Amino acid sequence: METDTQERLSAQIEGRVQGVGFRNFTQMRARQLGVTGWVRNEQDGSVRLEAEGPRAALEELLEAVHEGPRMAQVESVEAEWAGANDEYEGFRVRR
C-alpha cells in the first residue's frame, strides 16, 4: 500500500553544470532515493531534470541538485511541481 502521493518534479539547473559529472551525480542520487525519470544536458549549457516519485524523495533530490557534484557551480534551479504521469521506468541519463 502506497502512503505517499506520487508527484512530478521538473527542474532547470544553471551554472557550471556540464562537463563536471552533474548528470551521473543526479542519476546516482535519484536511484538512491527510488525516483524515476531522466536528466540531460541542454544546448544552452543548463541541465534539465524530470523526475517522479514521493514528494519527500523529490525534495531530497531537488536539494541535492542545488549543490551538485564537487566540481559543479550551481547558480540557479527553477523547479515546477505537478502530478505524476507514471511514464518512467528507472532513472536514466539522456544524451
Q: Which residues are catalytic?
A: 23, 41
Q: Give me the residues paired with residue 40 across strands.
A: 48, 94
| 3-class DSSP assignment, residue 72 | coil
C-alpha cell at 13: 539547473
Letter for the amino acid at 47? V
Letter for the amino acid at 1? M
Q: CA-to-CA distance for 84 and 2, rounded, in angstroms?
A: 14
